[in-house]
């Protein structure tokens, strides 16, 4: 059993897609080990995306992530990191496979509806960035 970290981003929350995305998560065999709806501060978003701070889209991305509420999730499944990346699809929805969340729901490369950790190491960092151990129930 592996854990990964997911976010339902502001574009999806705003369009009332929380339920549809959670349905895909659960029907694909993930257990939701932790979940909270919150509104990120600029400091939280900039810290979360610090690896991208030199990218040209950093300011736009962090402003977007603070533009409305998000849902933060800890997901559990065998090979959860790669399984969730697969279910989300490619970063750019135009390149995402049919049937993926980003293909079906994302608006563009930035407003792409969901986040997923790209490695087990980053998942551990991202989970601990937002959740205490007592909030995670396997």
Q: Name the segment binding ligand GDP (CB under 6 A); options: 19-27, 39-47, 53-61, 124-132.
A: 53-61
Q: Is 115 an active-site residue?
A: yes
CB nearer to ligand GDP: give 54 or 138. Answer: 54
Question: What is the largest distance, in Å, between two alpha-carbon atoms of the chain?
Answer: 39
The residue written with tokens 């980053």 in the block is 122
Asked if 62 touches ligand GDP (CB under 6 A), the answer is no
Least distance CB 69 / ligand GDP (angstroms): 16
Q: 92: Cβ–Cβ under 8 A, 6 or more apart, which residues?
A: 109, 112
Q: CB–CB of 111/15 below 8 Å?
A: no
Q: Which of 47, 57, 95, 99 is the binder for ligand GDP (CB under 6 A)? A: 57
Return the number of other C-beta atoms located less than 10 Å from residue 130's C-beta. 19
Report which DSSP code applies to 113: S
Among 83, 115, 123, 127, binds ligand GDP (CB under 6 A): 115
Q: Point out the residues that are catalytic.
A: 115
Binding stretches for ligand GDP (CB under 6 A): 57, 60-61, 91, 109-110, 112, 115, 118
């Amino acid at each position: 059993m592996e854990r990964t970290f997911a976010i339902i981003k502001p574009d999806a929350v705003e369009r009332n897609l929380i339920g549809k995305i959670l349905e895909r998560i659960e029907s694909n065999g993930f257990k939701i080990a932790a979940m909270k709806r919150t509104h990120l501060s600029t400091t939280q978003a900039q810290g979360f995306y610090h690896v991208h701070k030199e990218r040209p889209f950093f300011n736009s991305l962090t402003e977007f992530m603070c533009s409305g509420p998000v849902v933060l999730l800890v997901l559990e499944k065998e090979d959860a990191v790669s399984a969730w990346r697969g279910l989300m699809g490619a970063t750019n929805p135009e390149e995402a496979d049919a049937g993926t969340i980003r293909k079906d729901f994302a608006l563009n490369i930035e407003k792409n509806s969901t986040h997923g950790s790209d490695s087990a190491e980053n998942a551990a960092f991202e989970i601990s960035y937002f959740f205490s151990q007592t909030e995670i129930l396997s």
